[in-house]
A and B are shown apart, each in its own frame.
Chain A
Amino acid sequence: MQALRRVFALNQNASWTRTVLATQQKSCLLSSSSILDIGIGLSAEKRQIQELALTFTQNEVAPHMQKWDAEHIFPVEMFTKTAALGFGAIYCKEEHGGSGLSRLDASLIFEAIATGCVTSSAYLSIHNMCAWMIDSTGTEEQRAKWLPQLAPMSRLASYCLTEPGSGSDAAALKTTAKSDGNYYVLNGSKAFISGAGATDLYLVMCRTGADGPKGISCVMVEKDTPGLSFGKIERKLGWNAQPTREVVFENCRVPKSNRLGPEGSGFGLAMRGLNGGRVNIASCSLGAAHASLLAAREYMTVRKQFGKQLAEFQALQFQLAEMAAQLVSSRLLVRQAAQSLDSGDPGAPAVCALAKLHATEQCFDVCNRALQLFGGYGYLLDFPVQQYLRDSRVNCILEGTNQVMRMLVARDIIGRLGDA
C-alpha cells in the first residue's frame, strides 16, 4: 500500500531539515487533541467523507504542493483523480453525474484538500461553483450537455465576473453582449480569471441590457470560440499552481442557447454562486491554517533553544492557544454557514459573508503566527508555512473583498433594526 511504502522511504532521512519536513506531511491527520480535531462536532458519516478527502490529500496532493508552486504547474491529472472520487460536482444533482451532497460536505472536502495545497483546493471549488450554476439554472439540454463533462473534470470551468474597471462594484461591469439573431456578440475583458487559458468553459457575466445589475446575463463561452483570447499569465504572490489571466472578448460570437437563465438574471445567479463560493474559499483558509498550526506545533517539539523545547516556553504556548481559538471559531462559523445554505435559510448569504470575513482573516493570521514560530526556517521556501501564508492571503480579497463582506454583514445587522 502506498502509505506503507512511503514510511519505509522516509526512514532514510539524514538531515535535520528533512526530518522536520517529513513529519509535516503526516501531522494533519494525526492530531489526538480534541480541540484541533478536524472532525470536531461531525457525525460518523461526515467524518468518513472527510477521512477520504484527507487520505487522498496526504497521498496525492501534499507531496507535490511545493513543486506545483515553484514550477507553476496546474495539476490537471490530480483534478481528474479528485473527480473520480466524486469531488468534481459535489453539490450537483446525481442525475448527470453530480454527487448529490451538501454544502457542508463540500466545505469538509475543500478544507481537507487545502491542507495539502490551498491553490488546488481553491480551483476545485471554483469549478464546483460553475458546475452548480449550470446544474441549478441550466435548461435540461444545457445540464445534459455540460454536467457529464464537468463532473468527471474532463472539461474544466472558469468564472468570469471581475473586470479591470469593476471589482467590488461588480454590477458596473462593461463587457457587452449585443444581440445578433441567434447569437450574442461579446466585447470587453475580464480580469484575474482563475484557470484562464487552461480551462474549457467560461461562465461570463455580461451586459445584455441596461446599466446596473438587472441588465446582466450569464453566458457560457467555450474555449477556441473565435474572438476569445487571453492576456499574459499574471505573476502572483501565491496561487502559482494555477494560471490567472485576463480574458478578452473581441466580437466573440456565442449562441444564445449558451445563456444560463433568462436575460437579466445573470447578476443574481453570480451572487448566488458566490454565497457558496465564499463558504468554499473560507474552507480553503481553514485547511491552510490547520496545516500551519500543526506544523508549528510539531516544530516546537523538535526545536530546542536555551536547553528547552520551544513548546516549553509559556509565551509560545499562549501563541498556540490563541491560534487554536482563531482556527476553531472560524471552522465552526464556516460549517454553520454551509448548513444555512443547505437548509435554505433566507439569512444564509449574510452568514456566508460573515464566515468568509472571519475565517479568511483569522486563518491568514494563524499562518502568519505559525511562520513566526518557525523562526528563520519559516522564511525559507523549503518549509511549507510560507506557501500556506502566500496562498491564503488572496482569500481575503477574492470572492468579494473582506470590505464588501463587512458591508453585507452590517447591512444585515442594521437592516433588521426594525425587528426585535
Chain B
Amino acid sequence: YIHIINKADMAASKGLKILVGCKRVIDYAVKVRVKPDRSGVVTEGVKHSMNPFDEIAVEEAVRMKEKKLAGEAVAISVGPPQSQETLRTALAMGIDRAIHVEIPLAQLEKLQPIHVSKLLAKVCESEKPDLVILGKQAIDDDCNQTGQMLAALLDWPQATFASKIEPSQDSKQLRVTREVDGGMETIDVSVPAVVTSDLRLNEPRYATLPNIMKAKKKPLAKMSPDQLGVDLQPRQEVISVEDPPVRKAGAKVESVEDLVGKLREKGLVK
C-alpha cells in the first residue's frame, strides 16, 4: 500500500496526522516474579502502566500538535480490555482520539511484534496517518521490533531511536536525530514514515485534572483482530522463563599484574 501526501510546505499544510502506539506493560518499578510453573511472569494483581517509551511518543505527538506541525493525533493500543486505561492516559495528555484493538486473553501471552505490526499496518490503511510514532521498545519484552517491522510492511521509511524530530531545512521532510552506538546520526525522512522514540526525545507531561475530565468525552473506538483480518498464530513457543542466575561474589586484586594473572587463569586472556 502506498500513501502519497502533498509534498507542499509542511508549515502551510493542515499539519501531519500522527498515529501513536501505546502498550500497557508491567510498571517499571515492580519487582517482577516468575510464575511457579515457569511459563511466564506474574501479571495478575500487579501494577501496570503505559510503556515509558510510549509516554515519550505520546508527548512528542502532543508537542507537534502544539507547534502546529501536526493537526490530529490518534493513539492506538493492542491489548487486553485494561489497555483502555492506557489509552485514557494518552487522551488526558492531549491526544484527540483513541483506537483499542482488543486481544482475547487466550492469545495475549503469545502476541508477538510481528502480529502487532501487522495489526498496526492494517489500521494505517484506513487511518492513513502521515507519521507513526512508537516507543523504541517495550520494557517487558525489550524486543525493539514493532516499529521496524511496521515500516517494512508498509514500505515506509523508518527513523528509529529518535532523540529529536523537526521539519527538514526545506520543510518537505522530517529531520530526525537518532541515538546510535557511535553517537548521534541525523537523517531526513520523507513522510509518511515510522519513527520510534528514545529516552531523550522529551520529558512527558503530567495529565491535568481538567484534561482528564475532557478526555472522558474523546472518542475511543474498539476493533478486533478478526475485523482487521490479521491472523494471530504464534510463530514462537516459549519453553521456559527463569530468574537470572544469582550474582556470584567477585574478588578484589591488588595490582594490574594480579588482574592479568587471574584473567589468564580463567582462560579469558592468552
A residues adjacent to B (C-beta < 8 A): 1-5, 7, 26, 29-30, 32-34, 44-45, 47-49, 52, 55-56, 84-87, 90, 94, 99-101, 105
Given contacts A1-B55, A30-B47, A32-B46, contact A48 B27 (CB under 8 A): no
Q: Which of chain A's residues have a CB closer than 8 A to the CB of B183?
A: none
Given contacts A3-B29, A32-B46, A48-B88, contact A85 B206 (CB under 8 A): yes
Task: Return 24 A-B CB contacts under 8 Å, by A number.
Answer: A3-B28, A3-B29, A7-B28, A7-B29, A29-B27, A29-B29, A30-B29, A32-B30, A44-B84, A44-B85, A48-B88, A48-B207, A52-B92, A52-B206, A52-B212, A55-B206, A56-B206, A84-B208, A85-B206, A85-B209, A87-B209, A90-B209, A99-B209, A101-B213
- Whole-angstrom distance between the Cβ of B40 and the nearest chain A Cβ: 16
Looking at chain A's contact residues, is the secondary structure mostly helix, strand, loop, or mixed? helix
Q: Which of chain A's residues have a CB closer than 8 A to the CB of B29?
A: 3, 7, 26, 29-30
Q: Which of chain B's residues have a CB closer than 8 A to the CB of A100?
A: 213
A1 touching B209 by the CB < 8 A rule? Answer: no
- Whole-angstrom distance between the Cβ of B247 and the nearest chain A Cβ: 13
| A147–B58 CA distance with the chains assembled, in angstroms | 32
Q: Which of chain A's residues have a CB closer than 8 A to the CB of B208?
A: 84-86
A-facing mask of B72-112, CB < 8 A → 1, else 0? Answer: 00000000000011001100100000000000000000000
Chain A to chain B: the 6 pairs with minimum beta-carbon distance, closest first = A86-B209, A26-B29, A32-B45, A99-B209, A1-B52, A85-B208
Q: Which of chain A's residues have a CB closer than 8 A to the CB of B55?
A: 1
CB proximity to A under 8 Å, residues B201-223: 203-204, 206-210, 212-213, 216
- Whole-angstrom distance between the Cβ of A54 and the nearest chain B Cβ: 10
Closest B residue to A105 by beta carbon equals B209
Greatest chain B CB density within 10 A among A33, A52, A56, A84 is at A52
The residue that B45 contacts in the complex, of A29, A34, A90, with Cβ under 8 A, is A34
Q: Which of chain A's residues have a CB closer than 8 A to the CB of B85?
A: 44, 47-48
| A52–B92 CA distance with the chains assembled, in angstroms | 10
A-facing mask of B216-242, CB < 8 A → 1, else 0? Answer: 100000000000000000000000000
B209 touching A101 by the CB < 8 A rule? Answer: yes
- Whole-angstrom distance between the Cβ of B237 and the nearest chain A Cβ: 28
| A29–B47 CA distance with the chains assembled, in angstroms | 8
CB proximity to A under 8 Å, residues B22-46: 27-30, 45-46
A-facing mask of B110-153, CB < 8 A → 1, else 0? Answer: 00000000000000000000000000000000000000000000
| A45–B213 CA distance with the chains assembled, in angstroms | 9
Closest B residue to A87 by beta carbon equals B209
- Whole-angstrom distance between the Cβ of B200 and the nearest chain A Cβ: 10
| A29–B213 CA distance with the chains assembled, in angstroms | 22
Q: Which of chain A's residues have a CB closer than 8 A to the CB of B89?
A: 48
- Whole-angstrom distance between the Cβ of B125 and the nearest chain A Cβ: 31
| A105–B56 CA distance with the chains assembled, in angstroms | 27
- Whole-angstrom distance between the Cβ of B182 and the nearest chain A Cβ: 21
| A2–B56 CA distance with the chains assembled, in angstroms | 11
Closest B residue to A47 by beta carbon equals B85
B residues adjacent to A (C-beta < 8 A): 27-30, 45-47, 52, 55-56, 84-85, 88-89, 92, 199, 203-204, 206-210, 212-213, 216
- Whole-angstrom distance between the Cβ of B115 and the nearest chain A Cβ: 26
| A7–B55 CA distance with the chains assembled, in angstroms | 16
Q: Which of chain B's residues have a CB closer than 8 A to the CB of A3?
A: 28-29, 52
Closest A residue to B56 by beta carbon equals A1
| A32–B48 CA distance with the chains assembled, in angstroms | 10
Closest B residue to A32 by beta carbon equals B45
Greatest chain A CB density within 10 A among B55, B88, B208 is at B208
B47 touching A4 by the CB < 8 A rule? Answer: no
Greatest chain A CB density within 10 A among B84, B89, B209, B216 is at B209
Closest A residue to B43 by beta carbon equals A32
Q: Which of chain A's residues have a CB closer than 8 A to the CB of B88?
A: 44, 48
Given contacts A7-B28, A30-B29, contact A49 B212 (CB under 8 A): yes
- Whole-angstrom distance between the Cβ of A286 and the nearest chain B Cβ: 19
B204 touching A1 by the CB < 8 A rule? Answer: yes
- Whole-angstrom distance between the Cβ of A112 and the nearest chain B Cβ: 13
| A87–B210 CA distance with the chains assembled, in angstroms | 10
- Whole-angstrom distance between the Cβ of A113 and the nearest chain B Cβ: 13
Q: Which of chain B's residues have a CB closer than 8 A to the CB of A30?
A: 27, 29-30, 47
| A86–B92 CA distance with the chains assembled, in angstroms | 13
The residue that A2 contacts in the complex, of B203, B207, B209, with Cβ under 8 A, is B203
Q: Which of chain B's residues have a CB closer than 8 A to the CB of A55?
A: 206
Q: Which of chain B's residues have a CB closer than 8 A to the CB of A7?
A: 28-29
